Amino acid sequence: MKNGVMMQYFEWYLPNTGKFWIQLKDDAEHLAKIGITAVWIPPAYKGAAQDDVGYGCYDLYDLGEFDQKGTVRTKYGTKEELQQAITALHDNNVAVYLDVVMNHKAAADGKEKFRVKEVDEENRDKEISDTYEIEGWTAFNFPGRKGKYSGFTWHWYHFSGTDYDAKRDNTAIYQIQGEGKEWSRNVDGENGNYDYLMFANIDYHHPEVVEEMKKWGVWVANELNLDGFRLDAVKHINTEFIREFISAVRAERGEDFYIVGEYWKDCPEDLDAYLAAEQYAMDLFDVSLHYNFATASEEGENYDLRQLLDGSLVKEHPALAVTLVDNHDSQPGQSLESTVADWFKPAAYALILLMKDGYPCIFYGDYYGMKGEESPHHTTIDILLTIRHTYAHGAQDDYFDHPNCVGIVRRGATDKPHTGLALLISNAADAEKQMHVGTQHAGQQWMEALGTCPDTVTIDAEGNGIFRVPAGKIAVWIPKE
């Protein structure tokens, strides 16, 4: 992953045509050409319905192969088409990370009776009823698959909570009662205890569940010849299980099998604690950096750009941070909507793609577009990717020294005199800044790569240049060949 770039290759509102895996296959060569080294693909297994994005997951072993929930294919296509897409990506040296959803199951095949207590939605440790019996959708026997790949069937005792009582046609958070039944303590502390998120909540205290899910992780990694996983909603899942799961998969696929977790919380201390609990065996998405970008884009010239990296994972754990601008949850209309405004997105992408630290992740919606509308950032991202791979080398110096204009310098590789760059970001007026790019560049002419400044800059004998940036924009200066 040295100098690698990940792309989240989906957005929430993709059309339900079943042609997405075919599109991905056809796009493999282009992705490699622009400098994408890995793609994070959406949940590829059967959901509650054909148009399910993948997070209402029903059968993890059905990758678009069996007639279940009224469809053989998933929203994205068939298993065979997915395998062909992965082969095409590998042929172009692009790694594939599957989105793995292990917190819950949805769209059960049958109802079962069991005993529960209702808990307070805002404090799941607070019981608000006595124990009583409900009828919940917790029986999963996957009749369309008929036991292929796994004969495991799910029942109420494999779950710790659910949200619907069919007997009374009532919705609430029900904590399932029985021997050993409790919320996991090794989860996020929001809402008292954030083990329960949605649907039928998988109980990772149950030994049968632990073994089955580890078995599935190994199976899907082998079946699709994957290079890594993106683990969904890890703050809701028992930390000890995640550690066991990672170990089991890497024992089969090798220690280089990549893992990144989604712990969506703007709290650097909690992210730090989670990394420690997982023994630093995985990366995390830099949620704090995303929120810094969103706030900067909302506040405009009132935002102090010197704070842009404050509290970010890339600042505290640079080797474990996946830096991002937006994703399918933060995009407009979604549950965690916190979209970075269009005017600031070039700055955010320039920073994550050109700075030395972090593993940058480009969002499909920012590159290709959302809801069928083209993205205005496509060309800018293409240019930034080219600059990253051609010029963004060597040591980095930060110039976070003004509330409305900040920058970074990459000094370039010592054996390549025409590498290196100077990035400037403005959120207010036109600005200029003297920056030191290194004496090896003395006498060189530098040009602005995005076309925002027509003039050139001559690097003086001491390796300094005076670089400019237009109001509210970015400028990326590079050596002129």
Which one is catalytic: 118, 195, 232, 326? 232
- The angle, 0 to 180 degrees and rounded to 10, between the axes of the packed helices 239-253 and 268-277 is 50
Active-site residue, 232 included: yes
The two tokens of residue 52 are 């399910």
Is 169 an annotated catalytic residue? no
Q: How many CB atoms lie within 10 A of CB 273?
A: 14
Q: Which of these is catalytic: 262, 283, 286, 366?
A: 262
Strand pairing category for 57-59 and 46-47: antiparallel
Indicate which residues carry an active-site annotation: 232, 262
